[in-house]
Amino acid sequence: MKLRDGGVFESRAMMIQNIMDALADNGNSVVGIYGISGVDKSTLLADTEKIIREEKSFDLVAHADVSEHQDIKRIQEEIAHKLGLSDLKNEEYVSVQAELLHGRLKVAERIKKTVLIILDNLWKGLDLKSVGIPCGPDNKVMGCKLLLTLRASCC
Protein backbone atom coordinates (compact mmCIF):
# COMPACT_ATOMS: atom_id res chain seq x y z
CA MET A 1 0.00 0.00 0.00
CA LYS A 2 1.56 3.30 -1.07
CA LEU A 3 1.28 6.10 1.44
CA ARG A 4 1.32 9.85 1.18
CA ASP A 5 5.05 10.14 1.80
CA GLY A 6 5.70 7.60 -0.96
CA GLY A 7 6.92 4.96 1.48
CA VAL A 8 5.38 1.66 2.33
CA PHE A 9 5.13 0.73 5.98
CA GLU A 10 3.67 -2.67 6.71
CA SER A 11 2.33 -1.66 10.11
CA ARG A 12 0.60 1.43 8.72
CA ALA A 13 -0.68 -0.49 5.71
CA MET A 14 -2.14 -3.07 8.08
CA MET A 15 -3.84 -0.35 10.15
CA ILE A 16 -5.30 1.23 7.01
CA GLN A 17 -6.54 -2.16 5.82
CA ASN A 18 -8.18 -2.73 9.22
CA ILE A 19 -9.93 0.63 8.92
CA MET A 20 -11.05 -0.13 5.36
CA ASP A 21 -12.37 -3.54 6.45
CA ALA A 22 -14.25 -1.97 9.37
CA LEU A 23 -15.82 0.61 7.04
CA ALA A 24 -16.82 -2.11 4.57
CA ASP A 25 -18.57 -4.09 7.33
CA ASN A 26 -22.29 -3.28 7.13
CA GLY A 27 -22.56 -3.89 10.87
CA ASN A 28 -20.42 -0.82 11.56
CA SER A 29 -21.74 2.70 11.25
CA VAL A 30 -18.91 4.38 13.19
CA VAL A 31 -15.21 3.56 13.01
CA GLY A 32 -12.81 5.29 15.38
CA ILE A 33 -9.08 5.84 15.42
CA TYR A 34 -8.05 6.79 18.91
CA GLY A 35 -4.91 7.36 20.91
CA ILE A 36 -2.93 9.90 22.84
CA SER A 37 -1.86 13.19 21.31
CA GLY A 38 1.01 12.99 18.86
CA VAL A 39 0.67 9.39 17.62
CA ASP A 40 -0.22 10.47 14.06
CA LYS A 41 -3.94 9.65 14.12
CA SER A 42 -4.64 12.48 11.69
CA THR A 43 -1.87 11.33 9.35
CA LEU A 44 -3.28 7.80 9.38
CA LEU A 45 -6.70 9.27 8.69
CA ALA A 46 -5.37 11.35 5.78
CA ASP A 47 -3.67 8.30 4.26
CA THR A 48 -6.88 6.28 4.65
CA GLU A 49 -9.00 9.08 3.16
CA LYS A 50 -6.68 9.30 0.16
CA ILE A 51 -7.11 5.58 -0.52
CA ILE A 52 -10.88 5.79 -0.01
CA ARG A 53 -11.09 8.58 -2.59
CA GLU A 54 -8.75 6.82 -5.05
CA GLU A 55 -10.66 3.55 -4.79
CA LYS A 56 -14.03 5.35 -4.80
CA SER A 57 -15.10 3.29 -1.80
CA PHE A 58 -17.91 5.80 -1.11
CA ASP A 59 -19.98 7.93 -3.47
CA LEU A 60 -19.62 11.01 -1.24
CA VAL A 61 -16.87 11.81 1.27
CA ALA A 62 -16.94 14.81 3.59
CA HIS A 63 -14.16 15.75 6.02
CA ALA A 64 -14.42 18.20 8.90
CA ASP A 65 -11.91 19.13 11.57
CA VAL A 66 -13.76 19.23 14.88
CA SER A 67 -11.00 20.58 17.19
CA GLU A 68 -11.00 21.26 20.91
CA HIS A 69 -13.47 24.16 20.71
CA GLN A 70 -16.30 22.62 18.71
CA ASP A 71 -17.93 25.10 16.35
CA ILE A 72 -21.07 23.28 15.17
CA LYS A 73 -21.81 25.84 12.44
CA ARG A 74 -18.31 25.49 10.95
CA ILE A 75 -18.46 21.67 11.15
CA GLN A 76 -21.84 21.72 9.38
CA GLU A 77 -20.53 24.04 6.68
CA GLU A 78 -17.43 21.91 6.05
CA ILE A 79 -19.55 18.77 5.67
CA ALA A 80 -22.22 20.50 3.57
CA HIS A 81 -19.65 22.01 1.19
CA LYS A 82 -18.18 18.57 0.48
CA LEU A 83 -21.68 17.12 -0.05
CA GLY A 84 -22.64 19.85 -2.53
CA LEU A 85 -25.09 21.61 -0.21
CA SER A 86 -24.11 25.18 -1.03
CA ASP A 87 -27.12 27.01 0.41
CA LEU A 88 -26.28 26.02 3.99
CA LYS A 89 -24.14 29.13 4.57
CA ASN A 90 -27.19 31.31 3.92
CA GLU A 91 -28.88 29.97 7.04
CA GLU A 92 -28.32 31.88 10.25
CA TYR A 93 -29.46 29.21 12.69
CA VAL A 94 -27.51 26.06 13.50
CA SER A 95 -30.78 24.13 13.92
CA VAL A 96 -31.91 25.04 10.39
CA GLN A 97 -28.49 24.06 9.04
CA ALA A 98 -28.80 20.73 10.87
CA GLU A 99 -32.19 20.11 9.24
CA LEU A 100 -30.81 20.90 5.77
CA LEU A 101 -27.77 18.69 6.25
CA HIS A 102 -29.92 15.90 7.70
CA GLY A 103 -32.22 16.17 4.67
CA ARG A 104 -29.28 15.98 2.24
CA LEU A 105 -28.00 12.83 3.94
CA LYS A 106 -31.46 11.24 3.89
CA VAL A 107 -31.78 11.97 0.14
CA ALA A 108 -28.38 10.36 -0.45
CA GLU A 109 -29.55 7.31 1.49
CA ARG A 110 -32.81 7.11 -0.51
CA ILE A 111 -31.00 7.18 -3.84
CA LYS A 112 -28.53 4.57 -2.57
CA LYS A 113 -25.48 6.85 -2.44
CA THR A 114 -22.88 5.73 0.06
CA VAL A 115 -21.69 8.57 2.28
CA LEU A 116 -18.65 8.75 4.55
CA ILE A 117 -18.30 11.62 6.99
CA ILE A 118 -14.84 12.00 8.46
CA LEU A 119 -14.57 13.89 11.74
CA ASP A 120 -10.98 14.56 12.69
CA ASN A 121 -9.60 15.73 16.01
CA LEU A 122 -12.43 15.07 18.47
CA TRP A 123 -11.48 16.16 21.97
CA LYS A 124 -14.84 15.38 23.54
CA GLY A 125 -18.23 13.97 22.60
CA LEU A 126 -20.09 15.60 19.72
CA ASP A 127 -23.89 15.79 19.49
CA LEU A 128 -24.35 14.32 16.02
CA LYS A 129 -28.02 15.31 15.84
CA SER A 130 -27.13 18.97 16.41
CA VAL A 131 -24.74 18.73 13.45
CA GLY A 132 -27.43 17.12 11.28
CA ILE A 133 -26.07 13.58 11.11
CA PRO A 134 -29.03 11.17 11.20
CA CYS A 135 -29.16 9.00 14.31
CA GLY A 136 -31.71 6.45 15.45
CA PRO A 137 -33.27 6.22 18.90
CA ASP A 138 -30.21 4.34 20.16
CA ASN A 139 -27.93 7.05 18.67
CA LYS A 140 -26.83 4.63 15.94
CA VAL A 141 -25.74 6.61 12.90
CA MET A 142 -28.10 6.07 9.97
CA GLY A 143 -27.71 6.69 6.25
CA CYS A 144 -23.98 7.24 6.33
CA LYS A 145 -20.81 6.04 7.99
CA LEU A 146 -18.54 8.00 10.29
CA LEU A 147 -14.77 7.77 10.51
CA LEU A 148 -13.40 9.57 13.57
CA THR A 149 -10.12 10.40 15.21
CA LEU A 150 -10.29 11.03 18.90
CA ARG A 151 -8.08 11.27 21.90
CA ALA A 152 -7.86 8.19 24.09
CA SER A 153 -9.51 10.00 27.00
CA CYS A 154 -12.35 11.35 24.83
CA CYS A 155 -15.96 10.22 24.74
Confidence of residue 3 (pLDDT cuts 50, 70, 90): very low
What whole-number distance in Å separates Cα of residue 140 and Cα of residue 153? 21
> Can you say whether residue 62 is alpha, beta or left, with left for phi > 0 and alpha for psi between -120 and 50 degrees?
beta
Among the residue ranges 9-13, 40-44, 55-59, 137-141, the one predicted with the least confidence is 137-141
Average pLDDT along the chain:
83
- Helix and strand tally (H, E) in the chain? 5, 4
Q: What is the pLDDT, as a whole number, of residue 12?
A: 80
Q: What is the pLDDT, as a whole number, of residue 139?
A: 58
Q: What is the pLDDT, as a whole number, of residue 147?
A: 94
Q: Residue 152 above 50 pLDDT?
A: yes
Radius of gyration over every alpha carbon of the chain, rounded to an integer in angstroms: 15
What whole-number distance in Å separates Cα of residue 121 and Cα of residue 112? 29
Domain ranges across the chain: 10-151
Q: What is the pLDDT, as a whole number, of residue 4?
A: 47
The class of domain 10-151 in CATH terms is alpha beta
